[in-house]
Amino acid sequence: MHNLAHYDPDLRRRNVTAMSHGSKLDASIWEECNWEELAVRARYILAEMKNENIENIMYAEINSFPEGGEKEQLVRNRIGQYFFRMAVLNSYENRCCITGLAIPELLVASHIKPWKESDIRTERTNPMNGLALNALHDKAFDRGLITIKPDYTICVSSQIKASIEGNTIEDWLLSFIKRKITLPTKFLPKKEFLEYHNDVIFVA
């Protein structure tokens, strides 16, 4: 773990000392972390410790699906989604990274690179592919009406700027232009994901 800490950008950002040198194998392991498998294994271990049925922990209705590969994949997807939400929201201390809103019921663990476009092993459930956003900013981010630059500043689409002006638009969207988001305590958003959103999703 001390070897792997050398490659953790969050620890580097906080000047936490790790091994001064890491091997190529350490770097490969860090880069190729299978987040989906990590989430699934952790959930199965917890279920075993609590002597619970994995399928009844979060999604009891899953029993209505047929046995086999389809059901197994659905279990894995839902475990992964649950893991992603918990990891992202916890890393932002259950606050929207743009507004600071701290009402859990109104917060969304937003994918920076969309779920359907993300690699199943390394991106879909990777907390570094997530932002804690309130429901409005999540929708705007998902539709490319706002984005976060690799320097963690907020950029708003010209489509928003050209819309009818009013206090709501000014207070909730335009007033955040060029401000920096509140960074998480861990799982700093990966710049490659932010660049993808800037280049592919954002409507300049």
The H or E element that residue 108 is part of is: strand 107-111
Q: How far is CA 170 from CA 156, 160, 165, 175, 176, in A?
A: 11, 10, 7, 5, 9
**Burial status of residue 84 (CB atoms within 10 A of its CB: 0-12, 13-18, 19 or more):** buried
In-domain check, residue 18: no
In-domain check, residue 137: yes
Structural domain harbouring 132: 33-201
Per-residue confidence of the chain (204 residues) as pLDDT tens digits?
455 555 565 555 556 555 555 566 556 655 666 776 767 777 767 777 777 766 555 544 444 545 555 666 677 777 778 889 999 999 999 999 999 999 999 999 999 999 999 988 889 889 999 999 999 999 999 999 999 999 999 999 988 877 666 666 667 888 899 999 999 998 999 999 999 999 999 998
Does the model's pTM come out above 0.85? no
Strand partners, 148: 154
In-domain check, residue 85: yes
Q: How far is CA 28 from CA 41, 82, 127, in A?
A: 21, 26, 18
In-domain check, residue 28: no
In-domain check, residue 142: yes
In-domain check, residue 189: yes
In-domain check, residue 5: no
In total, how many domains does the chain have? 1
